[in-house]
Structure 1
Amino acid sequence: MQYKQLTEYGAIGDGNTVALVGRDGSIDWCPLPHVESPSVFAAILDADRGGHFAVRPTQSFESVQRYRDRTTVLETTFQTADGSATVTDFMPVAETAESPVRPPAVYRKLECDTGPLELEVAFEPRFDYARDVPAVERTSDGVVAIGTDERAVLSSDLPLRPSTDGHGASATVTLEPGETRWLVLGYGEAIPLESSHHQKTLDEAVGYWREWSHDCAGADCPIDSPWHDLAVRSSLVLKLLLHRETGAVCAAPTTSIPEDLGGVRNWDYRFNWIRDAAFTVQALAELGHLDEARSYFELCLDHCGGHEPADVPPVYGLHGGDDLEEHVLDHLEGYRGSAPVRVGNAAREQRQLDVYGELILAIYESVRYGEAVTTDDWAVMCDLIDYVCEGWERPGSSIWESRDGPKHYVYSKVMCWVALDRGIKLAEAAGDDVSAPLERWRTCREGVREAILERGYSDRANSFVQTFGGESLDAANLLIPIVGFLPPEDARVQGTIDATIDRLATDGGLVRRYEGDDGLPGEASPFVVCSFWLVTALALAGRTDEATDRFESVIEYTSPLGLLAEAIDPESGEQRGNFPQAYSHIGLINSVLYLADADGSSGGSREPLGRDEWTEDSDLGGEIIRQPSDTERGDTA
């Protein structure tokens, strides 16, 4: 079995986990029951040992994939010399089911379009990242894979037979035109085989996604532009990565897909990073997904109160835990030979000062969209802001989580300023409803600002730089106008944009994260989200034509299904890193929002996240602070 390029995969999911389905009909990645669980299929990380679940024609074929419009229901159509067939893959979302109690499941519908056509099935599950090779046995209507602590049941009306080694199953069937068959994989228990019910489940899934997806009927559309459908697809990817139980955003559903092919920059991204928070809230709220934005707001408040201020980690488990100990699965060769394969993430132990600004900014944005902070939450937020006053002058780790020791990163200092600035604005808007040491915060805010302008900007580079006193560039500084530290027309902002284009951008419109050594061997590919930050900064600066040209260059790298990984190899144009990546799709959505405003097509007047900094007027309205309910206090009747 050979490795595929990332653009040859589609993603399906149910709000708990995500599976990757190849254009050749093979499910090569699927952790169960949750996205952070060990894998059942992991051929993407080891083509021979990882395990897969394939459906394909027995003869040579060509294939294409597409999503059903405004859904995550994936169709793979095969064309051979004798005919064509379509495999429809989906995972039912529990919210659509008649009963919410059901096992996680993958449904595969086989339909012969023209033919007859012969198809083959290969079912080779490998539990626990392929460390547990199950025994596969017959059942009355399929096969069951039995591992040490897990089981998976494949029900089908196809003649499945266990393989000779007892660790897989296969089937071959000839379908006539119009004939339909089903394969239904249940994790933990069987899904009863009933074709009419399966079709109903498919119809429910299609209805769920179409009801959820952005609908601009009857209102001014915030993404009314040539890229409307691409932004909607990105929102659907984001929904796939939103954990339905907790509201946490999974940064990506995979682990150890390399930034540098054959290198060691292979990380586990199946966790929730706080750095995504404010932009996630903005993207969801602007597209009308207020329930999801509200859930993420509540999650941010939970993160605020879950630790002592000095111990707030940059990354959390999707269920709220922070035990993310990193270790290596040395029995897997890694995607296209890129070892090590890592599980867990050592970034949990880093001290990233930008986290405080990102938390407070996300809460501020949520309040702007109509949420209110409880008095108890406000007390915790005050503790965090007070800690920023005490700790902003200390070195820390970068937003990019380099492993070369703490430094005075300029972007981290900017986000410390943001924490103080938004805390002050919230307190001012709440008035007598809150108590806050405003004079102390204002004095500290001015001190942080002066330090950034004096030590974080280089006259020689005509740009903000990565670290105090340094000369290397950092693409994160493109966020300076977006978070409101300086207006986009400021000469220092314009210089930073131009220096980024000159020193970090590629000819193909991509943007590298930073210059210089980061303590790891190899070279990281340009990050997709950095390219979108540049687009947004240009759009805010009134350089709309440049922004549009760069945006169109970047979206050329999207997969045929509209999916993006975290990085792009500048030489080959291949996608790199974990896939699909939430941060990339959030960046795309927000770039479309700002571009739509820049050319007037949205009919709106979208400003940066820091819109009121430049006018000194707060756009916060309505209830800012409220009393907690008995449930929030933990009171019982």
Structure 2
Amino acid sequence: MQKEYLDLEEYGIVGNLETCALIGRNGSVDWMCLPWFESPSVFGALLDPGRGGRFLVTPEEKFHSFHGYISHTNILETTFRTIQGQMVIQDFMPVVGQSKQAVLYRKLHCTWGSIRMYGLFAPAPAYGSETPEYEKTEHGIRASHGDLALQLVTSLDFQIGEEGAASRFVLQEGQSAWLVLAHGDMDFDTSNAANEAAMERTRRWWNNWLEQCGGKRACAFEDDVWGHVVTRSELALKLLTNPRTGAVAAAATTSLPEALGGERNWDYRFSWVRDSSFLLQALFHLGHHQEAMNYIRWIDEKIAKEDSARTLQVLYSLHGEDGAEERTLSELRGYRDAKPVRIGNGASEQFQLDIFGELTNMIYQTTRYGRNLSGAQWRYTRDIVNMAAEVWQEKDQGIWEMRGEPRHNVYSKVMCWVALDRGVRMAESNGFDAPLEAWRATRDAIHNAVLERGFNKQRNSFVDVFDGEELDAANLLIPVLGFLPGDDPRVLGTIDAALEHLSAGDGLLFRYTIDDGLRGKEGAFAVCSFWMVKALVLAGRNDEAEQFFLHTLDYISPLGLLSEEVNPASSAMLGNFPQAFSHIGLINCALYLGLMRGKDSGQPRPMGME
């Protein structure tokens, strides 16, 4: 009997760089949006098993299953074992440029014995709100609704019924079958030979993509213990990176809950500005300079379109559309009945001071990697720095995007300091026109204010807001950003306070201690664990850093994927999946640990280690 909901760690992801499919260990495609990540879902059983739609291929008998990726690729293999036989399903999508349309290939191969299988092709367009019309074709099944057309080509006999198109079949040892699903009417060869060739091209594409950066890749990542998880993070991050625009999706999903049964359910199919400097650090040190430059170009275009630095958004659509209006889909149950299901994200309308520091830091980092700023680029950079100087004393929603009243968030003030500091550095080293005296004075004023009002002597730690008492894991980035040295007593106190009061178990941290007013207790925040490791490295506590990192790796999925959070009680993954920020954190964490071991990065030293 199929489980109604799978654990997130039971899912793998395949994609074409513009969209993806989440495929469970039971052989079910439970999440797929077409044609883009942020498009409405056509398979959405992840959020509602009853009406969301799925594309299932699974044994009819009781089975055990496991899955993995073909080495150095995003080709997923799921193996099913029954008493009678064994079946392997290989799932993949050719990347953009290899195919004119989004295509999901599913190859079934019986490796021994015989195995009885059940297939169900049941798309549910528009987040499950529409029912498609089915028709038999010469080569399979066509499902359509309005402008949407899905073509399933297969030699297996699918019959149209009330639930969709279904098939029961048996494969004997050595026999194979293909199911090829295309978005739009198919106009390409789907013979077995052509399908095999498509899989080989896809395998070579992923292998070549990794090999192209081999000579530029920092040797700091070469470690037998965690090298493979860095590579998997790298491959997952690439799946979330759009080759046409350069934007990187924060995650592939929407509304996967940070607290089961609670309301902490958000749409992460957008690109967040705050990921920028950490993302570029990861890409440059991995040797993926083209992806880094594509992302920089995308950011440049976004900044250039804004009327002023004040109107910069926290997040942007992956394809250039304005706005991310948030609304709920009340008819969907939600993952494990966590409601509401949201599309769009209201954080796009928030005022968050930290983005000025993130953008300026990103621009500064690119100059360290050899980029020369044009006059226009310096002008908008100067505008961002000036804006940080103007508004740093205002309240904001902060990095955690609190939905309550704005506050004087300490981390936001630190990031305004970063904007001024990086602006001063760029102007001094390049001779750019800038109000340097005013910038230096404001930088010093922010620094003094954070030290006087952001550090709580009783708690011996930086805290979440000015004159506050609650802890915030974002303050672990203070040494990483160069605000204070890693061995400063106030940094050491913040590390120890976080280890004592934010700990959610070995290798896990909660992100803050404050009651944020939302229902449900959220899990440990994955990226905070990686921030802790970097803080420990910069504090010279190397053994602790390595042990903490190794404990954190215990919570990665069997496929090497990370969600946003972890349930400390069950070790189950929570939040949207896979999460770019978590994988970026892991990559940069491995970089710091490699440098700690004396391995050359081959690139400028990362933040905090300059």
Settle same-fold status: TM greater than 0.5. yes
1: CA distance, partners of 2:601 / 2:261: 47
1:436 maps to what in 2? 434
For residue 118 of structure 1, report the CA deviation from its aligned partner.
2.1
SS at match of 1:213: helix
1:593 maps to what in 2? 591
Of the candidates 468, 490, 493, which is equivalent to residue 492 of structure 1? Answer: 490
Give the share of equivalent positions with the same residue, in percent: 45
Of the candidates 139, 157, 161, which is equivalent to residue 159 of structure 2? Answer: 161
**Aligned partners of 2:53 and 2:123 also within 8 Å:** yes
Matched residues, number: 604
1: CA distance, partners of 2:460 / 2:357: 25
For residue 402 of structure 1, report the CA deviation from its aligned partner.
1.1
**Aligned partners of 1:59 and 1:80 also within 8 Å:** yes
2: CA distance, partners of 1:148 / 1:572: 43
**Aligned partners of 2:18 and 2:96 also within 8 Å:** no
1:275 maps to what in 2? 274
The 1:309/1:37 distance shift into structure 2, 3 A limit, reads same
Of the candidates 195, 200, 203, which is equivalent to residue 203 of structure 1? Answer: 200
1:331 maps to what in 2? 331
1:309 maps to a residue whose letter is: A
**Aligned partners of 2:486 and 2:535 also within 8 Å:** yes
1: CA distance, partners of 2:82 / 2:542: 46
**Aligned partners of 2:94 and 2:103 also within 8 Å:** yes
For residue 576 of structure 1, report the CA deviation from its aligned partner.
0.3
2:176 maps to what in 1? 180
SS at match of 2:219: coil
So what's the TM-score if we normalise by structure 1?
0.93
Written as runs of structure 1 = structure 2, the 5 A alignment for 1:68-79 is: 68-79=70-81
124-133 vs 360-369, which deviates more? 360-369
1:522 maps to a residue whose letter is: G
1:254-289 residue CA offsets vs partner (Å, 9 max, x unmatched): 000000001110000000001111010000110100
Written as runs of structure 1 = structure 2, the 5 A alignment for 1:146-295 is: 146-163=144-161, 165=162, 168-190=164-186, 191-213=188-210, 216=214, 221-225=219-223, 226-295=225-294
For residue 313 of structure 1, report the CA deviation from its aligned partner.
1.2
2: CA distance, partners of 1:481 / 1:117: 57
For residue 220 of structure 1, report the CA deviation from its aligned partner.
6.1
63-72 vs 220-229, which deviates more? 220-229
Of the candidates 60, 63, 66, which is equivalent to residue 64 of structure 1? Answer: 66
2:84 maps to what in 1? 82
1:349 maps to what in 2? 349
SS at match of 1:222: helix
For residue 337 of structure 1, report the CA deviation from its aligned partner.
0.7
377-386 vs 349-358, which deviates more? 377-386
For residue 116 of structure 1, report the CA deviation from its aligned partner.
2.3
1:42 maps to a residue whose letter is: G
For residue 418 of structure 1, report the CA deviation from its aligned partner.
0.5
SS at match of 1:10: strand
2:503 maps to what in 1? 505
2: CA distance, partners of 1:292 / 1:354: 24
1:394 maps to what in 2? 394
For residue 582 of structure 1, report the CA deviation from its aligned partner.
0.5
SS at match of 1:7: helix
1:323 maps to a residue whose letter is: G
For residue 519 of structure 1, report the CA deviation from its aligned partner.
2.4
Of the candidates 44, 47, 50, which is equivalent to residue 49 of structure 2? Answer: 47
2: CA distance, partners of 1:253 / 1:326: 17
For residue 599 of structure 1, report the CA deviation from its aligned partner.
2.0
302-311 vs 326-335, which deviates more? 302-311
**Aligned partners of 2:218 and 2:285 also within 8 Å:** no
1: CA distance, partners of 2:139 / 2:582: 42
114-123 vs 70-79, which deviates more? 114-123
2:125 maps to a residue whose letter is: F
1: CA distance, partners of 2:411 / 2:301: 24
The 1:61/1:609 distance shift into structure 2, 3 A limit, reads same
SS at match of 2:142: strand
1:478 maps to what in 2? 476
**Aligned partners of 1:461 and 1:471 also within 8 Å:** yes
1:54 maps to a residue whose letter is: L
SS at match of 1:50: coil
SS at match of 2:143: strand
1: CA distance, partners of 2:49 / 2:7: 13
2:35 maps to what in 1? 33
1:620 maps to what in 2? none
For residue 505 of structure 1, report the CA deviation from its aligned partner.
1.2
2: CA distance, partners of 1:520 / 1:56: 39
**Aligned partners of 2:538 and 2:609 also within 8 Å:** no
1: CA distance, partners of 2:376 / 2:169: 63
1:622 maps to what in 2? none
**Aligned partners of 1:304 and 1:381 also within 8 Å:** no
The 1:65/1:566 distance shift into structure 2, 3 A limit, reads same
1:626 maps to what in 2? none
SS at match of 2:221: coil
2:92 maps to a residue whose letter is: F
The 1:184/1:32 distance shift into structure 2, 3 A limit, reads same
1:174 maps to a residue whose letter is: V
SS at match of 1:171: strand
2: CA distance, partners of 1:553 / 1:258: 24
1:564-614 residue CA offsets vs partner (Å, 9 max, x unmatched): 1000011111100001100111111111111111122457797441445xx
1:370 maps to what in 2? 370
1: CA distance, partners of 2:390 / 2:597: 43
Written as runs of structure 1 = structure 2, the 5 A alignment for 1:393-432 is: 393-431=393-431
2: CA distance, partners of 1:391 / 1:247: 30
**Aligned partners of 2:140 and 2:152 also within 8 Å:** yes
For residue 325 of structure 1, report the CA deviation from its aligned partner.
0.4
1:90 maps to a residue whose letter is: F
**Aligned-pair RMSD on alpha carbons?**
1.5
The 1:584/1:135 distance shift into structure 2, 3 A limit, reads same
The 1:476/1:604 distance shift into structure 2, 3 A limit, reads same
The 1:606/1:541 distance shift into structure 2, 3 A limit, reads farther
2:449 maps to what in 1? 451
